[in-house]
Amino acid sequence: MAKNTTKPVRVELDGEEKLLRFDFNAMADFEDVMGYGLFAAVQEGQIGFRTIRAFYWAGLKWKEKGLTIDRTGQILGKELNNGTDLQDLMSPIEKALTNSGIIPDQDEEEDVSEEDEGKNG
């Protein structure tokens, strides 16, 4: 399992650099607004506008006191209107989730797989 660093990811939103971070509280807040957790969202393929907005809200509010989910949607809407696509919005979320240890680092998984293959070969 990846180490839990909760190191924030820098992301440019609304003309400002913001810090996206997922800790225990952020993920609990995400679950509160979505009605389900991260793994259910991924399993069900339910990653859409609502999910992306909830991730950003939960991951930014530790630093952006008073940030509302509606304001988060307005900020993300501006980004889409300025040419940002959904994958560009998802990349910082994925990196922040990896930094937190909530999802495994793909590089670490590949390293472990290669080590295991060497032992079995």
In the chain, where the domains are located = 29-105
The β-bridge partners of 10 are: 19
* Residue 13 near residue 109, CB atoms below 8 Å: no
Residue 53, CA distances (Å) to 21, 24, 58, 121 in order: 14, 18, 9, 46
Q: Is the pLDDT of residue 104 over 70?
A: yes
For the segment 75-93, the average pLDDT, to the nearest whole number, is 95
Q: Is the pLDDT of residue 117 over 80?
A: no
Q: Is the pLDDT of residue 113 over 60?
A: no
Q: What is this structure's pTM?
A: 0.81
For the segment 55-72, the average pLDDT, to the nearest whole number, is 97
* Residue 50 near residue 34, CB atoms below 8 Å: yes
Which amino acid type is present at position 18?
K
Instruction: Please give the Cα distance from 5 to 23 (Å, whole number).
Output: 9
pLDDT interval class at 41 (50, 70, 90): confident
pLDDT interval class at 19 (50, 70, 90): very high
Which amino acid type is present at position 49?
F
The β-bridge partners of 20 are: 9
